[in-house]
Structure 1
Amino acid sequence: MPTPPSRPPQPITVSIVSHGQLALVRPLLEQLDRFSAGSIDKVVLTLNIPEPDVLAGLPWQFPVERIENAAAMGFGANHNQAFRRCDSEWFLVLNPDMRFDDDVLAPLAAQAAPDAGLLTPRILEPGKAQPEQHRAIITPLEILTRKRPGYAIPAVPAWVPGLFMLFRSRAYREVGGFDERFFMYGEDFDICARTQLAGWKLQVAEDLLARHEAQRASHASRRHLYWHVTSLLKVWGSGAFWRFRKAVRGGDQASVL
């Protein structure tokens, strides 16, 4: 039997981490396969904890490389580990509970400005008619006021959450990936700040939409709430936070954001 032709390289490596969530990963892979297979070089699927394999025998148009951790690792450490398997131009950090109704990957990469180091579509949360608002720099006051009337929504976000982060691989490599001192939460703001401080732009595609089937663990679990609070303290104690805040407040917003 002749060997099937090899698949030409595609521009995006996708990193997905499952924390016992393969039932959520399956529909995500199905949607990526249906809408975006032509843009995906491979999916690196990390099983952070042992779980039943509900994906066994399922075919995809792209390779799915598995990593099965011997011990659970944090958000950033898992994606940094996956990035070591990335040989493509773009590296996509994607939550298992993201959902798509059309191809977002190809048009998003096609929109990238030459100095864009991190891209994202707009994110629609469950039960919402409009996408999530753009986010300002995290401070205690910003957290307390972001949902109150009169909150000044920034025209350009200072950061984007780690649900969907399409990194130019060169930018991810330059900043050293995620800071692994953050186990979970806070690492998304930190890498957004460091990427922009390194001279790369954060670019949002206002015309593209992805859906988040939110898993609000920090609202239901004391452990996740603890990680959330301690991560915020790490953010506010980091040099990147203060350099980024100074750059934005010091009138250098155009070059940083």
Structure 2
Amino acid sequence: MATEMRAEVTVIIVSYNTAQLTIKAIDTLYANTRETRFDCVVFDNASQDNSAALIRAAFPHVRVMASDQNIGFAAANNHVAGASETPYFLLLNPDTETHPGAVDALVKFAKSRPKAGIWGGRTVFADGLLNIASCWAIPSLRSLFFRAFGISALFRRSAFANPEAYGGWQRDSIREVDIVVGCFLLIGRPLWQELGGFQRKYYMYGEDADLCLRARGLGYRSCMTPDAQITHHVGASTRQSEEKTILVMKARASIIRDHWPHWKVGPGIALMWLWAALRYVASRPFTRCRRASADHWRAVWARRAEWLRGYA
């Protein structure tokens, strides 16, 4: 709903070679938001698919900021938020489709729970099945141990064996969480400013986790509601699987180094090393019959020094 009245939310979409998906995201955003006054700003990270021009043509009322270089997700959001004055910022991925009333419900939820500071909703896949990746718990020594040995994968529905994913929880109730994922994340402008936005060192992945954990350090408790739901077509702008794995692992190492007690950091990094080592060793017998898997883990293992250091 774009009106002449002052907007209360700035919806920030950072796009990268996702022109048609971004157009769909914007279309569903406007079609399914009935009560909330909002502005929509798209920051295009030097896409090569003519994204900026296509989005401008499809939505003349949407502000499109086209960068001549890919500055990353964190810096792009910081840039838009720094030039916006609405009470709330909603970070929305370009590969999402907003369901009816989702943004309205999320904003109402935020107003009812101001002490949460950061709010998120439920995400589903295109087929309507639950996508658990709308929120996570902070990694722990227990979760890293179970992950390294495949226990969390075997017992996905166990809250004990799969704690990072809140195993067994269908995201069907209101709940405090450690991390709201940046695909659908609402935050108040005062808190965003207090935190200084995203840390720019988190070029891709982990910036939302770091933001939520820094907010937690100030006494806020991020919260989820099932009443705000979107479809998330995961990973549309990161197609190289080994590159994505390396970036995710780099972010996880950074979260451990930035947010764990010092005495836990060494064992945590060692468990990450063990996780990759076990998968690399396990993939070697399948080098011929499962070439893609073997090549994937060979590439991840070869660059272990890079991702174990995390973001500097």
Confirm or deny a common fold (TM above 0.5): yes
**TM-score when scaled to structure 1?**
0.82
1:41 maps to 38
| Structure 2: runs of 5+ lacking an equivalent | 167-174, 265-312
Matched, 1:163 2:203: no
CA deviation vs aligned residue, 1:147-190 (integer Å, no higher than 9, x gap): 33134354642112211110111111111111111111111111
Measured in 2, the distance between the counterparts of 1:35 and 1:185 equals 28
Q: Is the Cα contact below 8 Å between 2:98 and 2:230 reproduced in 1?
A: yes
Measured in 1, the distance between the counterparts of 2:86 and 2:260 equals 29
2:271 maps to none
Q: Is the Cα contact below 8 Å between 1:17 and 1:96 reproduced in 2?
A: yes
> What pairs up with 1:65-76 in 2 under 5 angstroms?
65-76=63-74
Deviates more, 1:65-74 or 1:82-91: 65-74
> What pairs up with 1:3-82 in 2 under 5 angstroms?
7-36=4-33, 38-50=35-47, 51-52=49-50, 53-59=53-59, 63-82=61-80
2:281 maps to none
Deviates more, 1:133-142 or 1:193-202: 133-142
2:273 maps to none
Measured in 2, the distance between the counterparts of 1:58 and 1:38 equals 23
**TM-score when scaled to structure 2?**
0.68
Residue type matched to 1:138 in 2? P
Deviates more, 1:176-185 or 1:128-137: 128-137
Q: Is the Cα contact below 8 Å between 2:17 and 2:237 reproduced in 1?
A: no
Measured in 2, the distance between the counterparts of 1:37 and 1:55 equals 22
Residue type matched to 1:204 in 2? M
2:208 maps to 188
CA deviation vs aligned residue, 1:19-50 (integer Å, no higher than 9, x gap): 11121110111111111165243111111014
Residue type matched to 1:123 in 2? T
Q: CA RMSD in A?
A: 2.5
Measured in 1, the distance between the counterparts of 2:236 and 2:16 equals 14
Q: Is the Cα contact below 8 Å between 1:46 and 1:78 reproduced in 2?
A: yes
Q: CA deviation at 1:128?
A: 5.9
> What pairs up with 1:34-183 in 2 under 5 angstroms?
34-36=31-33, 38-50=35-47, 51-52=49-50, 53-59=53-59, 63-112=61-110, 113-127=113-127, 129-132=129-132, 135-139=136-140, 141-142=142-143, 144=147, 145-149=151-155, 150-152=158-160, 154=166, 156-183=176-203
Measured in 2, the distance between the counterparts of 1:100 and 1:120 equals 13
Deviates more, 1:29-38 or 1:90-99: 29-38
2:231 maps to 211
CA deviation vs aligned residue, 1:179-204 (integer Å, no higher than 9, x gap): 11111111111111011111222121
Q: Matched residue pairs, number?
A: 236
CA deviation vs aligned residue, 1:115-136 (integer Å, no higher than 9, x gap): 1211111111345633517522
Measured in 2, the distance between the counterparts of 1:241 and 1:178 equals 18
Kindly indicate which of the two structures has a greater share of residues assigned to helix: 2
Measured in 1, the distance between the counterparts of 2:71 and 2:252 equals 19
**Partner-residue secondary structure (3-state), 2:117:** strand
Residue type matched to 1:148 in 2? L
Q: Is the Cα contact below 8 Å between 2:9 and 2:37 reproduced in 1?
A: yes
Q: CA deviation at 1:72?
A: 1.0
Residue type matched to 2:124 in 1? L
Q: Is the Cα contact below 8 Å between 2:22 and 2:94 reproduced in 1?
A: yes
